[in-house]
Structure 1
Amino acid sequence: MTDYLPVPNPTKSFWLTAEVDFHDHRSTAELPAEADIVIVGSGYAGTTTAHFLMEEGFDGTIVMLEARDVCSGATARNGGHLKPSLYYSQKSWTKKFGEKGAAEIANFEFAHLAAMKELIEREKIDCDFVFGRSCDVHLTSSAVNAALENYQQFTKNPYITCKHDVQLHVGENAKTISHVLDSEVCVTFTAGQLWPYKLVTSLLRKCMQKGLNLQTNTPVLGSEKFEDKWLVKTARGTILAKKLVIATNAYTASVEPRFLNKIVPIKGICSHITPKVRPSHLSHTYGIRYDGADQDYLINRADGTVVVGGAKKHIFPFKNVFYNVVDDSTLIPGTKEYFDDYMKHFHDWKFTETETDHVWSGILGYTDDSFPYVGEMPHESNKFIIAGFHGHGMPRVLLSAKALASNIMGKELEVPAAFKISQERMTKTRNEILASLGTPVARL
């Protein structure tokens, strides 16, 4: 479905100021006629899947197809925030999956912290990785109530193994710890930050050195079964794959039409802000919560700059500008102004002049039930998917990719049950995205 392919000339994110020398690389001038595994997508999901396949000992041919330049989608456009969701969704998760299922998700996300640190140190990747504490600030009465109720649910769940890491602060302590004087409640826990484009392109370079065939600017238009293999159709011809991996996140409907209205492209906005005079360094990264799904996120980089994303209160009332939109070549009007005075939330930045020197858009893959689709496609052997990370991929992709690589090699898929693709999930017709965003109708 060409309507869901990435558009040319996307906005340039701050992360892409470190663009690699192989950004438009093709390992061979022509597409190989066949491959053992074809991976569609060169971002976080596709690249880590390739990495873990090689780590598992796979020694066949892997071809990676990318519609644009390498790693030019959501991975190069997110906020660089490795922040697990541990407590804030516990009520809804418990209602859907019970205490064990809710704990499974929280424990899985928390495990990404150690897994990412281990990967970066073992592979010696320079990507500005920093561990610290994240601080969720709650600025409305409904956000405060939700935090308290979910935290209570979190603390009483006997299956959660990371409770020791999460701390609730109220009153004056919350204001002091958060640096936000309007915050009556804040919650802190371990989180990380990094340069996501550097992480993924460093891993991808290593995969290419081990034999991966990368083909950029090669949009995939679909696939069809051919005997016991998959004929992958591209704008440059076809390639026959023994196994096919779809790692296309928001653009999945372009490759696999069955995901129309199941993985929906959502246009988001992010920014890079530089202070004119460097104030005191913020001691946390942040989630800043308002009503419902309205929240922003922030990382405080070691160079004194910050990356802030979200602007949901500015975007989400207007369905036509963000919902089912794949165009990341333009900005939503007014978003730069949203970020220009943003740092005045923090009392020690009140009188600091800042410059919003980068603003960019990116396309997130939201799913109909808010969880990613991971695993082998029902009734379609040897076709696998790892996509639909609902704007929350940093603490979900890495171990999902590791599990999928093992699954492709014939082992059990070890991800939370909520993430596993199933016939039941594929046939469910209810789409919960707009309701979860508080956008029941479109406004112009």
Structure 2
Amino acid sequence: MSSRYLPVENPTKSFWLTAEDEFSTYRSSSKLPREADTIVIGSGYAGTTFTYYLLKENKINPSSILMLEARNVCSGATARNGGHLKPDLYYSHKKFSAKYGAKGAAEIINFEHAHLEAMKELIETEEIDCDFVLTRACDVHLHPKSVNAAVSNYKSMIKNPYVTCKKDVQIKFGEQAEIISKVEGSPVCLTYTAGHLWPYKLIVSILKKNIEKGMQLQTNTPVLSTTKLTDGRYLVKTNRGEIICNNLDIATNAYTASVEPKFEGKIVPIKGICSHITSSDPNKKTPHLTNTYGIRYAGADGDYLINRPDGSVIVGGAKRHIFPFKQLFYDVVDDSTLIPNTKEYFDNYMNDRFYTWKGFPEVADYVWSGILGYSDDSLPYVGEVIGDKNKFILAGFHGHGMPRVLLCAKALAQLVSGKKKWLEIPSAFKITEDRMENTKNGILISLGTPSNDVAKL
């Protein structure tokens, strides 16, 4: 086990965490139980939805499930992301087709698109107040290479007979692209269904429902090591004591190597930056944009943003200022600091990009960092750990967890509970011996380096 992959203290404060209250440090009991049937490590999106679906099966005693969280409730990537439920319906199609075939690529696309309906159903069924909005995403491509890649991938996806959601994607060029996107000089834009929400409120609401059913939760209890015992059970060592369990479920994303050394180098912590932008004049309402956005410049440089129902905007990215500092963002778990120049990147951000915002007084009142779990082949690792019966991983979502986690968590819960005999997720997401032994770490290659030839907005 490696303690250097544990979360740090005093992380930056995200806008989403302004919703924190006394529940953030909740503990079901003052002392840890000595045993539990199931231990879930991580209280974020993955761990919480996994236990939600596990409890829905009604085949396990809720009080026998113990969730351990290293810091406060949902204080990791889930509470630091862009709140953007945005599937990738086209841009990675050629890459996935080349590696997994037309059916494999379609599996991933259809699976991500299915999250829109699944999330809407969950939120409405459980009556969760988390500012959920179903809308359209607008992808704007501003560099010739990005434009060519977008058009090429779109055409390739449209020809794939196994993609069931292709009619949801629309492509526009020239003046129409500029008007739809509100970005001057945009040569092309693609739109499709997406959503956005307050991720912290979503997860806390589900967590409270899990606890009402009897699930145990212990915050500020980092797991220091896990050991497989001779009888097949697991000894989980924390800073507050040891616990023995029958089933161990690791939902720690970027921090996975801290509790499962097999994933060191396979799931790497990557530091990202996000912001909250609003009106600097309390008497003026922002020029609200209907769409959510993905904005691609040169190379791997890009931003993403949502327009919240209160008029404010969440923007993440600033990659052109992150990538020059490999030692500050790659294989790093420190979310207590920012990266040089990233805070300034969001100054006047909306004015510089959207013509409807020109001249409007804006301020980035929150800028924060978060740690993303990038995997060596860009896809999550979901399933039972090879060679370790009843130890499961749900992690490595590569900065794209919102449209992948929910149904992965549901499928894994159904497998663990015995309801299903196999994982109903894309084959490329499953943990296999081949992925564990033969996949080469291509994270730095996939991140690339933004070109100096960046399109000017």
Q: TM-score category by the smaller chain?
A: over 0.9
Equivalent position SS for 2:397: coil
Alpha-carbon separation, structure 1, partners of 2:108 and 2:199: 22
Match of 2:324 in 1: 317
- Deviating runs (4+, > 3 A) in structure 1? none
SS in structure 2 of the partner of residue 418 of structure 1: helix
User: Which of 355-364 and 427-436 deviates more?
Assistant: 427-436
- Please list, as runs of the form range in 1=range in 2, the aligned pairs for 1:39-188 lying within 5 A after superposition: 39-60=40-61, 61-188=64-191
Write the letter of the residue equivalent to 1:333.
P
Deviations 1:195-232 (A, max 9, x none): 00000000000000101110001110121111121111
The aligned counterpart of 1:231 is: 235
Cα distance in 2 for residues equivalent to 1:66 and 1:386: 15
Give CA-to-partner distance per residue, 1:41-89, whole Å, 9 cap, x none: 0000000000000111133210000000010000000000000000000
Is 1:435 the counterpart of 2:436? The answer is no
Q: Give, as a single letter, the amino acid of the residue that structure 2 aligns with 1:430.
A: K
Q: Which amino acid aligns with 1:434?
A: L
Question: Counterpart of 2:441 in 1: which secondary structure?
Answer: coil
User: What is the letter of the counterpart of residue 397 of structure 1?
Assistant: V
Query: Is 1:216 equivalent to 2:219 in the alignment?
Result: yes
Does 1:265 find its partner at 2:273? no
User: Any idea what the Cα deviations from partners look like across 1:365-424, whole Å, max 9, x if unmatched?
Assistant: 000000000001111100000000000000000000000001111321111011001111
1:340 counterpart SS class: coil
For 1:402 and 1:279, the matched residues in 2 are separated by: 38
Are residue 302 (structure 1) and residue 305 (structure 2) matched? no
* 1:319–1:439 CA contact under 8 A, matched in 2: no
* TM-score normalized with structure 1 length: 0.98
User: What's the TM-score, normalizing by structure 2?
Assistant: 0.95
Partners of 2:441 and 2:367 in 1: how far apart? 30
* Cα deviation, residue 145, structure 1: 0.3
Distance 1:121 1:311 in 2: 34
Distance 1:89 1:416 in 2: 15
Amino acid of the structure 1 residue aligned with 2:261: P
3-state SS of the aligned residue for 2:193? strand
- AA paired with 2:442? E
Cα shift at 1:428: 2.2
CA distance in 2, matches of 1:7, 1:371: 25
Determine the C-alpha separation between the residues in 2 that align with 1:149 and 1:188.
Answer: 16
Once residues 209 and 127 of structure 2 are traced to their aligned partners in structure 1, the CA distance between those partners, rounded to angstroms, is 11
Once the two structures are TM-superposed, the CA of residue 293 in structure 1 deviates from its matched residue by: 2.2
Amino acid at match of 2:4: D
* Cα offset, 1:439, TM superposition: 4.4
* 8 A contact 1:45–1:397 mirrored in 2: yes
Retained in 1: the 8 A contact 2:321–2:340? no
Q: CA deviation at 1:426?
A: 1.0
List alignment gaps of at least 5 residues for structure 2: 451-457
CA contact (8 A) 1:42 1:64 kept: yes
Contact 1:20 1:201 in 2 (8 A): no
Kept in 1: contact 2:271–2:372 (CA 8 A): yes
Contact 1:273 1:307 in 2 (8 A): yes
The letter for the 2-side match of 1:59 is I
Query: 1:315 & 1:278 partners in 2: Cα distance?
Result: 31
Matched to 1:46, the amino acid is G
Distance 2:426 2:318 in 1: 30
SS at structure 2 position matched to 1:386: strand
* Percent identity between the two aligned chains: 65
Q: What is the DSSP-based 3-state SS (H/G/I as helix, E as strand, rest coil) of the residue aligned with 2:25?
A: coil
Which residue in the other structure is 1:14 paired with? 15
Q: 1:429: how far off?
A: 5.1
The aligned residue for residue 254 of structure 1 is 258
Is 1:290 the equivalent of 2:297? yes
